[in-house]
Chain A
């Protein structure tokens, strides 16, 4: 028994595992926070687009030896501006705009990384490698997450009104445009952070799944955030921990855990789950049947028939 326990505690004995676990947890938490807004607004794929768009920034930063966060952030802003620009000056729909801009940037990133091979391979950027994260990169992630949390703490309610009913938000004097810019800045920043833990391809899961899961479990926005953040934190921490034992890519483990939770909620959520919906439908059906029988058995009907 004690042998098993000590076996289970092995990851905590390694510094790099510790670091991987709490950095992942932090990133998972802040991405989950943002996911609540993204999935409600139908902008989920925006996260995907951003994470792919920042690849050239990361590659470029490593090539010239700049901090990766700065490069990624620059590319992220460029992508957001590019999308806004194309959308405003053409009649293309939003999805086409997003698709155009992010594939262009992603291609550029792949090209750059293949032309100038650096210490970081394209695989690291795309799949992430939290277990080998250098200290200064970990520091960048922590700073990004801490600032994002601090900002969200102040503006989460204003953002909620803006996303729920923008006209009204404006009418009570909220600067909705500024709020949205801040939101997308945070999203870019957190995508950059998430890049380190799960890689560009799986960032989308971190900024969608926790919010989507929580949405099935509650009808209140504050609880939505609480549940999503809890899911994001726990799955990321446990995912990093488990990846030690199964020797798999951390990102894959984290996202798999989140998906399992989502599926659980999808079927078993007390109000919005599939099973609950079926039960409700059956109850309504039974009641209709009963009422129908009652009407049919009423003497007046029989007489007139």
Chain B
């Protein structure tokens, strides 16, 4: 079913959606520099994964994109606009991590999705017919119409995620940020979300997803930004999301199972099977030539700190 026409572009938002992060450094008031000289770009119609260990600066980059932190150097531009302007024009739709929300709050699914329309409403925040229609459509798209009068705490983890995705849809932000969308959800919801993200990409949105879930990255991300306090590598998934880069990014944090030679097959095939995981869905490399230099993950870490 083609639902792409649900996201029309208005003239006020004519510029193609894009995120451009240039030489971004963020130093917090306590003197901690979370990100240094990070640069990457994201064009329209792209899904980009932001990958890195905890503390690698993923959330800082998100905060910089939403204007919560002021860069100590460098700049972020959204659709060519400075962050403040972009945010006030409702360009950025943010899907939070589940932990950031008070689930006992007395709001229904409907109310949460309607929050997505607030940026479009007047001072009194009285929903118009169009606002209600957009909410209906958004709920329909994430398949949550049946749950619209539930209090949000009564939903399962995956359903909660869908509701917040629906809010982002209703907001019609052309830049969509998803913070760890795949933690604590079932496989069905995961693939439903991925399908939806693909649709949004095809409709021209720029989507930035921070994720631990390495295994799903090659499935749906066109681009990858590997992060460890700065951008280690950025570019198309096929070239960037390699075993070597991941080892550099994750150091000793990942589990790496390598099956090769006679453990895998009874011939002299030099290819090896590599399973990389951080205990979420594992990432599997098969048929790639084994890199000659066997980088010990712990060693790589030590080298970096020197």
- Using CB atoms and an 8 Å cutoff, list the residues of chain A in contact with chain B: 40, 154, 157-158, 160-161, 163-168, 170-174, 215, 218-221, 224
Query: Does B256 belong to the interface (CB within 8 Å)?
Result: no
Query: A158-B125, A161-B118, A164-B101 in contact; A171/B106 too (CB < 8 A)?
Result: no
Place the interface of chain B in its size category: 20 to 34
Please give the distance in Å from B66's CB to the nearest CB on chain A. 5
9 other A-B residue contacts (CB within 8 Å) besides A158-B125, A161-B115, A221-B107: A40-B102, A40-B104, A40-B106, A167-B66, A167-B94, A168-B167, A171-B93, A172-B171, A173-B87
Query: Does B90 belong to the interface (CB within 8 Å)?
Result: yes
Q: By the criterion CB–CB under 8 Å, are A218 and B87 in contact? A: no
What is the total of A-B residue contacts with beta carbons within 8 Å? 69
Q: Which residues of A contact B105 (CB under 8 A)?
A: 40, 163-164, 221
Please give the distance in Å from A115's CB to the nearest CB on chain B. 42
Q: Which residues of A contact B124 (CB under 8 A)?
A: 154
Instruction: Give 25 pairs: A residue, B residue, CB < 8 Å, sorted on A.
Output: A40-B105, A154-B123, A154-B124, A157-B118, A158-B125, A161-B115, A163-B102, A163-B105, A165-B96, A165-B115, A167-B94, A167-B96, A170-B66, A170-B67, A170-B68, A171-B87, A171-B92, A171-B93, A171-B177, A172-B118, A173-B88, A218-B106, A219-B151, A221-B106, A221-B107
Within 8 A of A (CB), among B116-147: 118-119, 123-125
Across the interface, B100 reaches (CB within 8 A) one of A167, A173, A218, A220, namely A167
Residue of A nearest to B154 (CB): A219
Query: Does B193 belong to the interface (CB within 8 Å)?
Result: no
In the complex the two chains form, what is the Cα distance from A226 to B94 in whole Å? 30
Q: By the criterion CB–CB under 8 Å, are B106 and A219 in contact? A: yes
Q: Mark B60-97, 1 if CB is under 8 A from A, else 0.
A: 00000011100000000000000000011010111010
Q: By the criterion CB–CB under 8 Å, are B68 and A220 in contact? A: no
In the complex the two chains form, what is the Cα distance from A167 to B66 in whole Å? 9
- Using CB atoms and an 8 Å cutoff, list the residues of chain B in contact with chain A: 66-68, 87-88, 90, 92-94, 96, 100-102, 104-108, 111, 115, 118-119, 123-125, 151, 167, 171, 177
Query: A154-B124, A165-B100, A220-B111 in contact; A173/B106 too (CB < 8 A)?
Result: no
Query: A161-B118, A219-B151 in contact; A168/B106 too (CB < 8 A)?
Result: no
Query: A40-B102, A164-B101, A172-B90 in contact; A220/B119 too (CB < 8 A)?
Result: no
Please give the distance in Å from A275's CB to the nearest CB on chain B. 19
Residue of A nearest to B104 (CB): A40
